[in-house]
Structure 1
């Protein structure tokens, strides 16, 4: 059947609403048939320009983008039509600091976690605490055997307890590269000579490394060593402490909190320039600090709407974890404000003059529910002075550049993977408009708002029953 642009609009009500009219069809798994998102406002993620058009999707990819004035399109058989009139279309988001449960791919917990990401438009995740079970999961998602975001996965943790010698460093890095992990995950506690051996071997076998900065390594040496990304802005606040302060680096507290009053913000440009010179991306995970580490009472955060999607025992652990961190004699709300002000300065200058920022919230983590936490992270980036366009770029085109996948995902362009989010309002005017998408498409598979709500209700009901 030949479909012209005007015809797309005429047949929409007759064909595109079939899924909404047939409630039973919502219970069926989404299918990867040809689709047309018609008459939609398409956001160019590189420059923020908005154009109206019809987005034609087939076999999981964006086949054509037609202007509304276009007379006719290519032949499409059995196309599903989605009304985009008055709506906005953005690329799917990458959660660049995600976690996956260490369970087999068909475990219900894994299915729930993947769907929670998808429900908020996250179509790519970078798993930051890898497990060998995730390698099979990644392959099954890539082959469309499982519905979920595109997965990049780290190795299991390399830290001061798991790697204690240069010999171990060489052996583990080489093994993880051969196993097929996408990158190495570095955690705290690494001694300097062990860290250097990890870096040396990683470069020899060509596997990137990312994550935390160990206190005995320090931010400057870490940046010069060529991290693919430094997460949590880890090590930066410690790097602002002048040598004359003569602090013990191991007494830094929660990501440098103990050194807040000693930090010299005039040193920020030097560290920012080092990220640029050494091509190191930074993942702020600011929501980790505005939620877990904030003075906001644990009981208040526990009442957030998205908490109903977490198991009661998880929520209880989160409440206890937050209290153990913030309800101590060492914690001070005013110092937290100063600490956050420095972090915001770092984030803003890393955006303006650094190599680049990547969007990541660290989820699941204390009061960070997968998918939903990225909304908190985007608002935290607004609070740090970034524009909505810059924030969207952090989660779309920047990850594509990071993974060297420009043209494959991260923007709405012909030939790219059909990873899309349909929104009711323009997110460039208010980043909060990213919440509650009207539908999400992952590799051409359309998940309607009705399907999202139905699945979320199933998850909530499951955990609601366990609370009774």
Structure 2
């Protein structure tokens, strides 16, 4: 079937959340004369990719492809085929979000996500995962932590399991593992002994842990303890300070204060101390440690950038139609107290923090640190679906090459999750989760937005089907 006829493929109605079975899966599908960019080497031009039974059957020069009778053809001339994308930091496991955002993610070529903490019970998350895998629900492959694990006075009480010491931390990890959590998400206020108990228990169970670097430990200690990824570069800059020990005491005083005004003053003093004492040699040693220990980084620059550089124009962005109605007011910086309550000093500190975090990325790359692409969506102001493409562009602006950024959302995600024999590349035997672009992402990473079709589990979703998924997401957003 020629690409010009993709729009004629029958697609779903908008009456209900779609099943993958709503999209026809041909006995065999071949994308011919396409440029393949799979993140394992340079682009391969004039290739054909044969899909059968939801898997990639062959990747071969176009002139050597032998087709079975009845194979559906897609003409890939002038187009580029990449693996399905992974958003490695989302928060979808909350009421109404699956209905709204699963279709939107697929429409944006995102075929897998790592959920970093939510409200839905792990039993319900397990059901969602099974429905995606058996095709009764259209949505991305899902790895999920379940609740956050935090200490006393948690930052997000409604999303957190609270632990107070090593014994309660160990018991919580064992319980969440038994309930089906794929990993443990650690958060800001974990006591020091609880944090290391989590590290020991997950190691014993063969289970990863990831998340923020709690205030009670350093990024160096977190890396040595086996924390698999650090989100948002959280507390990494602190560990690059020549005054780290003294600043740790200042941070403890800030956290212990019960007076809001004093806490704000102490926080400013502490943050300025971090920003003014960056030690490049200490940073290089830390980054070498990350590389040696296999500590991945998930910068979520799109989320960080907006808080550093808020733009009131977002209140009129047409993509707000895809944000849950109940959540839209939180996406208006004119109503967001976290932004509006800042003064000039707060704004200057936030901007400097973001710029210095961003500036560490090239040094990390030189040291061999591995990166993943994540957005923090749909938390303000990280667009579900669309935001991953923004993140890839932000990573390139921060120093990654277009290929490295693409790898952060494909090959690297698969390796991090231990799925390199299932996804993340375009090779025989892997899942047929692919994105067909009409422009070269290596020439301009922003071309990952130019999606002509998505192939998910061997099912071809045309541009018309993708638009219908976006429309369905908007309708669900209005209901929620």
Question: Normalising by the residue count of structure 1, what TM-score does the alignment of the two structures yield?
Answer: 0.88
- The match for 1:393 is 407
- The match for 1:20 is 7
Alpha-carbon offset, residue 202 of structure 1: 1.4
CA RMSD of aligned residues (A): 2.4
Alpha-carbon offset, residue 253 of structure 1: 5.3
Given the alignment, which residue of 155, 158, 162 partners 2:149?
A: 158
Alpha-carbon offset, residue 273 of structure 1: 1.0
More deviation, 448-457/54-63: 448-457
Question: Normalising by the residue count of structure 2, what TM-score does the alignment of the two structures yield?
Answer: 0.86
SS in 1 for 2:194: helix
1:239 matched to 2:239? The reply is yes
1:81 matched to 2:73? The reply is yes
Runs of 4+ in 1 over 6 A off after TM superposition: none
Deviation sequence 1:75-97 (CA, Å, 0-9, x none)? 25x43322211111111111110
Alpha-carbon offset, residue 67 of structure 1: 1.1
Q: What is the CA–CA distance in structure 2 between the aligned matches of 1:284 and 1:313, rounded to whole Å?
A: 27
1:325 matched to 2:327? The reply is no
1:302 matched to 2:289? The reply is no
Q: What is the CA–CA distance in structure 2 between the aligned matches of 1:145 and 1:79, rounded to whole Å?
A: 25
1:312 matched to 2:325? The reply is yes
Contact persistence 2:11–2:465 (CA under 8 A): no
- The match for 1:149 is 140
Q: What is the CA–CA distance in structure 2 between the aligned matches of 1:121 and 1:205, rounded to whole Å?
A: 33
Q: What is the CA–CA distance in structure 1 between the aligned matches of 2:113 and 2:267, rounded to whole Å?
A: 29
Structure 2: 5+ residue stretches without partners: 153-161, 255-265
How many pairs were matched up? 443
- The match for 2:25 is 32
Q: What is the CA–CA distance in structure 1 between the aligned matches of 2:167 and 2:244, rounded to whole Å?
A: 36
Q: Per the alignment, do residues 82 and 193 of structure 1 end up closer, same or farther by CA in structure 2, a change over 3 Å counting?
A: same
Map 1:367-386 → 2, pairs under 5 A: 367-386=381-400
SS in 2 for 1:438: strand
- The match for 1:54 is 48
1:116 matched to 2:118? The reply is no
Map 1:236-315 → 2, pairs under 5 A: 236-243=236-243, 246-247=246-247, 248-250=250-252, 251=254, 258-266=272-280, 267-291=282-306, 293-297=307-311, 299-315=312-328
Alpha-carbon offset, residue 336 of structure 1: 3.5
Deviation sequence 1:219-272 (CA, Å, 0-9, x none)? 111111011111111110111222378221244859x85545324141221210
Bigger RCO of structures 1 and 2 (CA < 8 A, at least 6 apart): 2
Alpha-carbon offset, residue 372 of structure 1: 0.9
Contact persistence 1:237–1:259 (CA under 8 A): no
Alpha-carbon offset, residue 390 of structure 1: 0.6
Alpha-carbon offset, residue 414 of structure 1: 1.1
Deviation sequence 1:105-146 (CA, Å, 0-9, x none)? xxx641321111111111111111154121211122122221
Deviation sequence 1:320-352 (CA, Å, 0-9, x none)? 697322231265444344222211222222222
Structure 1: 5+ residue stretches without partners: 1-11
Alpha-carbon offset, residue 192 of structure 1: 0.5
SS in 2 for 1:234: coil
- The match for 1:6 is none
